[in-house]
Structure 1
Amino acid sequence: MSHTQNLISLYEQDILLWSEDTVNKLKARDFDHLDIEHLIEEVEGLGISQKKELISRLIVLLEHLLKRLYVNLPNEYNGWERTIRTQRGELEILLDAAPSLSSRWETSFNKAWKIALKNVSKEYPNVIFPQEWMSDRSIEPMLNNDVWLESHGENGKTA
């Protein structure tokens, strides 16, 4: 069995052990014995994962903002607001860890909006949701502004 076959086998058997082995080889500058194909896959996957996480967290944030703004279920407000705070915090952490994701905010927002709107519309078919986000959709306001307090009454309906 060749060394490459051993690496492939290690990758398939134990990704954590493969990762540690790869890091050790990189630190030692032992480039000749790296499992390059899987290393490329993992690095590409990391970028894809970050982009998907941005969209996924935006979907959850937008769903809960829409529910808090337009669904008149006061007993649910605290739970929705808690989820909003959690997603905002996680988005801040993600954007701090990968600042280049900020350049993908607008595209990600558009994708997330379509999915969030579709989801809440199915969940609450009797509620009329706006077809476009009605506030500032840039990063800072989305992560900080409690829009239900700013432009809506306490019950979430337009004042």
Structure 2
Amino acid sequence: MIANQTPTAISHRELYEQDFCLWVEQALVLLREGNLTDLDLENLLEEIADMSNSQKQALESNLKILLMHLLKYQYQPEKRTNSWRYTIIEHRQRIHRAFKNSPSLKRHFLQEFTDVYLEARKLAAVETGISIDTFPIASPFTTSQVLDEDYLPE
């Protein structure tokens, strides 16, 4: 910018493409002022929807890792390690924290449990080298067991 030159004012919508953090800050200011006219409502709605999707994806990722380790723990008892137990505990804690922050995620957990289990089953087979047919098609763990901080398949 040349000295003494006034920066060109850009719309809130244009700012979205140039500086996301500044766009968020301006969105907050515009909302607090009740200025919906200058607000980039289209992108704001998309970002809000993405926030929810991001939380759901994180939950599914934590559940997948948890289920995969529970399968490994059950089907490879000779290879059990403290690292596996640590991972099981850590991902349970992450799921419980997600439920505490957003109780509605419990519904998503229940809806996606079967599909996430099937993904975890495949990953467990690849990681262990055990035939996928060894692992049951339906989860051998109930949702209660998966969430129970003291449960380990023995």
Deviations, residues 35-59 of structure 1 (Å, cap 9, x unaligned):
0111011011111112211211110
Task: Give unpaired runs (5+ residues) of structure 2.
Answer: 1-7
**Which residue of the other structure, out of 140, 145, 151, is the alignment partner of 1:134?**
140
**Which residue of the other structure, out of 58, 64, 67, is the alignment partner of 2:72?**
67
Structure showing the higher helix proportion among its residues: 1
Partners of 1:118 and 1:126 in 2: how far apart? Answer: 10
Pair member with larger Rg: 2
TM-score (norm 2): 0.83
Aligned residues: 145
Task: Give unpaired runs (5+ residues) of structure 1.
Answer: 153-159
**Which residue of the other structure, out of 8, 12, 17, is the alignment partner of 2:17?**
12
Misfit runs of 4+, over 6 Å: none
Partners of 1:98 and 1:126 in 2: how far apart? Answer: 36
The residue number in structure 2 matching 1:106 is 110
The residue number in structure 2 matching 1:81 is 85
Contact preservation (8 Å) 1:59, 1:116: yes
The residue number in structure 1 matching 2:99 is 95
The residue number in structure 1 matching 2:62 is 57
Deviations, residues 54-101 of structure 1 (Å, cap 9, x unaligned):
211110110111111112343x52111111111111111111111111
Instruction: Kindly indicate whether residue 25 of structure 2 is the aligned counterpart of residue 25 of structure 1.
Output: no
In the TM superposition, residue 121 of structure 1 has moved relative to its aligned partner by 1.1
SS in 1 for 2:142: coil
The residue number in structure 1 matching 2:3 is none
The alignment yields a C-alpha RMSD, in angstroms, of 2.1
TM-score (norm 1): 0.81
Question: What letter is aligned with 1:56?
Answer: S
